[in-house]
Every structure is written in C-alpha cells, then in structure tokens.
Amino acid sequence: MTGGAGYIGSHTVLQLTDQGYDVVVVDDLSRGYKDAVDPKLLRVLDIHDTAGLVRVFEEKPCDAVIHFAAFIAVGESMRLPEIYFANNVAGSLSLFTAMVKTGVKHAVFSSTAAVYGMPKTSPISEDLPYAPINPYGESKAMTERILNWFDRIHELRSVCLRYFNASGADPDGRAGERHDPETHLIPLLLRAVKTGEPVNVFGDDYPTPDGTCIRDYIHVTDLAQAHILAVEALLKGAPSKKFNVGTGKGFSVREVIQSVERVTGQKVPYVISPRREGDPPELVADSGRLQKTLGWSPQFPDLDQIVATAWNFALK
C-alpha cells in the first residue's frame, strides 16, 4: 500500500490487518503520520523512487497494490499545479512502472469525485465524462487514463475508486482524520466546537433547499472496505473498472452542522462567507455499480454515527 500513514490509508491498514491480510506500507511521511502505522509495516519511501519500490516488491512479493499516496488539497493545487502533477501523476507512473517491472498485476487507485468537475446531474454516475476544474481532479483523471493504457499494454488490472467525502474515524478510536491544514468540513466543525473559533460556511445562496452545498459523506471504514472488496475481485480475475464510492445520500452543510450539534451537545460557531470558486451545489454518488458488482454496502450510512466516531477521535 502507498500512503498508508495518511487518513484513509491508515484506516485501510487496520481493516486489512483485522481481516488477516499481510500489508506493507510505503509512505514518505510528507503529509502522513509515523504513529498512524505499525512501525513493523512501514517503509519510509517516496513513490518517485522507482528503484526503491522495486526493492520493496522484491523483498516482499505482493498480490496487489492499493495506491493512496497523493497530495489532496484542491485549493493548493490551484496555486501549485506543478507539485500536483509531479506527485500525483509522475509519482503514480513511477509506482505502476515498478509494478510492471516486478510482475505485480493488480492495483486499486484512490480517485475522486473531482474528476467530474461541476456535473449538471445528480446523483452522479460513472458514465459522466471527465471534466475536472482544478489540477487536483485533473491529476486523478490523468492517472486513471495511465491505468487504462497499462491495462491494455501490460495487463495491469485496476479498480479506480472515485471517493466522495471521506469522513469519520475508526469506530474503535484507533485512528482518525488529521490533515494539516485541514480543509474537510466535519473536522473543521469539531475544531470550532472545541476552540470556539467560528468556521467559515462558504455560501448560503446555492440552489439547494437550505442554500448550502450538499455532499455525500462516506464513513472511512466503509471506504476502506470497498478497497478490500476491490482487491478480492481483482485477485479473482475481474476486469479493470471504475466505481463511485459514496452512500448515495447527500447532506447540506447546515445539516452537518446540526448533526455536530446533536452529537457534541454544543453549538457550532460559524460565519457565512462568500461562495468558493468551483464548488458545485451538489455532489452525490450513484454507487449502484459498486453495490451490484462488488457487493458493497455502507455499514455507517447514518450521519450522526459518522460524526460521533470523528468526535470520539477529536476528544483524544
């Protein structure tokens, strides 16, 4: 696995080891945390180091790679596109090259709803065309296309999982979300509750029932499980495929604030700020393909449950 010291990766390591899988984590710790992974599993390495990756695969032959390592902040990608293309595209290419060199033929790739840009329809199906509106989304679309060619030419089979809003924390409190800077709504709302510093709500004049943006929040443990099902399908010979990973239910920013207030028993201090450029009013997944093809279903579809796991981690 790459990027296993990060938020989603560290939760997936827990799920994999809980289910008896043997895991090696490659992470350069540029944005992750050493203490998020069992030190016995961690190899500190930048995925640009193709020869280093080849050595890891030779020392520890593996059946599949789950590729999380990337930079993930949309706003940063609008200021520094070069580091997004270098890390997310060239880094991925280095990884896939090392896989081909060592005969590792299965990959699960962390893609994103950002490949769809500002879709006009909701819920979003995988059949919509690529239309990213920022370098982050573009970097993921480019990597998906590289995987299409590696499938055709090198028979490297892959599942691209296009996540919607990953959220929540390990239900047993062993891991949680730690981005720096944090840009995701639930941890920002929880921080506002803890510090009393108001959080910005970007826009309340969208064409949605309460005027705030609607997103599809998927619990990180459910997301992790989708990766395991994807690996298992690939190992059984499934063809390459792309799937949305979301619950299919959207919540507005105001609804998330209300959920945080129910769970914490405290008021969320917030201010309404102008809209951010490039925020679609609504992003909700049609995850029917994932449910039908991989037999996935969310175990934590309830927003209060998601928030409660995140709050439990934030209190530690």
Site residues, ligand NAD (CB under 6 A)? 2-3, 5-9, 27-32, 46-48, 68-70, 72, 87, 91, 110, 112, 163, 165-166, 179
CB of 282 to ligand NAD, least distance (A): 16
Question: Is the Cβ of residue 218 or residue 294 nearer to ligand NAD in the bound state?
Answer: 218
Active site residues: 136
Least gap, CB of 4 to ligand NAD (angstroms)? 7
Strands (E), 68-219: 106-112, 157-163, 165-167, 199-202, 214-215, 217-219
Annotate 280-311 with b (16+ C-beta within 10 A) or e (fewer): bbbbbbbbebbeeebebebebeebebbbbbbb
Distance CA 290, CA 125 (A): 11
Q: Which is nearer to ligand NAD, 68 or 296 (CB)?
A: 68
| Phi, then psi, of 3 in degrees rounded to 5 | 75, 25
CB of 146 to ligand NAD, least distance (A): 14
Q: What distance in Å separates the CA atoms of residue 129 and residue 119, rounded to the nearest whole number?
A: 9
Strand 65-67 with 106-112, pairing: parallel
Shortest spacing between CB 25 and ligand NAD, in angstroms: 9
CB atoms near residue 276 (< 10 Å): 12
Element (H, E) at 195: helix 185-195
Asked whether 123 and 248 are in contact (CB, 8 A), the reply is yes
Q: Which is nearer to ligand NAD, 137 or 203 (CB)?
A: 137
The distance of closest approach from Cβ of residue 121 to ligand NAD in the complex, given in angstroms and rounded to an integer, is 20
Q: Are 56 and 104 contacting, i.e. CB atoms less than 8 angstroms apart?
A: no
Comparison of 75 and 211: residue with beta carbon closer to ligand NAD: 75
**Closer residue to ligand NAD (CB): 51 or 153:** 51
